[in-house]
Amino acid sequence: MPKGKYRFSVKLTRNGIPTADDGRRNSACSGALVAPDWVVPAGHCFGDLKGIPVEQPVADLTTAAVGRADLTGTSGVMAKVIAVRQSPSNDLSLAQLDTPVLGIRPIRLSTTAPAVCDVVRLTGYGSTASENPLPATRLYTDQFTVHTVANSIVGMTRPAPALDISACPYDSGAPYFRAARSSSHWRARPRLPALRRGDHRSRRHHRTLDQEHHPLTQGTPAVPLVAWRPELEG
C-alpha cells in the first residue's frame, strides 16, 4: 500500500499516569485528527484512578503522533495534548493539541449513522501480541462490516481464522471510516462514523500499510460519532 495513506491516524502516548499506589505507569491509545488541533480518541483514554473519564490530561505528558505510520521515523507531526472534552453519553472524547497540525488533512466526521452491511476500515496502533501486549510501532489497517447498530454501540465483524480473534489493547479510539462516494472514488475524503471501543485482549491477525492482507478481527464493538458533534474551537 502506498506510503502516506490515512495520515489522519493518530497515536496517543501517555507517560506518567498516576496509579493507586502513588506510582506512575505508561499507556497509549489510537485516534483520528478531526480538525487541525483536535483529535478524537476514546473517552477512557483520559480516565482518573477509578477509570472515570475526566476533562483533562491525566498523564504527566500526553503526546500525539499524527501522520506517522512508522513511529521509528520522522514523518508527520508531534504535538502535546493540552485539554480534553468528554462526550456526556458515550466512551468518546476530544483532545486538543498545543499546536495546529498543518499539511495533514483531517478526516471528516460523518453526518449519517453507520448502517448494517456498511464496509468500513480501521487504522490503529494496537498490540500485535496477546501476551505481554505493548503498543505497536507501526500503523495497522484492515476492513470490517457493520453487523449491528444501536444508540451507543456498533458491532463490527470480519472473517477471521478463529472466533476468538479481536482487536487488541491500545486500539482504543482507533477510527472506523468509510470512503465518501464520488465519481472519482479513490480521491474521495474518508468519513468517520465510529471509533474503536475498549481494549479486547485476544489474538490478532493484521497488516501494516505495506504488507499483504490478513484477516483482522471479529465481533469488534465501536462507538458511533453522529450522536455527538460538538463545535470545535480554533
Task: Express each pLDDT in 169-213 by its tens digit.
Answer: 677 888 888 865 543 333 345 555 555 555 443 344 444 443 333
Q: Are 23 and 90 found together in one domain?
A: yes
Residues of the domain holding 171: 108-224
- With beta carbons less than 8 A apart as the criterion, state whether 30 and 64 touch: no
Rg (CA), the chain: 16
Q: Are 72 and 152 found together in one domain?
A: no
Q: How far is CA 136 from CA 20, 39, 116, 179, 224, in A?
A: 26, 19, 30, 25, 25
pTM of the model: 0.78
Q: Are 135 and 51 found together in one domain?
A: no
Average pLDDT of the chain? 76
Number of domains in the chain: 2
DSSP-assigned states of every residue in 29-59: EEEEEEETTEEE--GGGGB-TTS-B-SS--S
* CATH (domain of 150): 2.40.10.10
Domain finish residue from 97, 123, 140: 97
Q: Are 71 and 135 found together in one domain?
A: no
Phi-psi label, residue 9: left if phi above 0, alpha if psi -120 to 50, beta otherwise: beta
Q: Are 126 and 69 found together in one domain?
A: no
137 domain residue, yes or no: yes
2 domain residue, yes or no: no
The pLDDT value given to residue 80: 98
Q: Are 115 and 70 found together in one domain?
A: no
Task: Express each pLDDT in 58-106 by its tens digit.
Answer: 999 999 999 999 999 999 999 999 999 998 888 889 999 999 999 999 9
Q: Are 217 and 146 found together in one domain?
A: yes
Q: Are 76 and 47 found together in one domain?
A: yes
Task: Express each pLDDT in 212-225 by its tens digit.
Answer: 333 333 344 565 55
Q: Are 120 and 188 found together in one domain?
A: yes
Domain finish residue from 47, 74, 97: 97
Q: Are 116 and 61 found together in one domain?
A: no
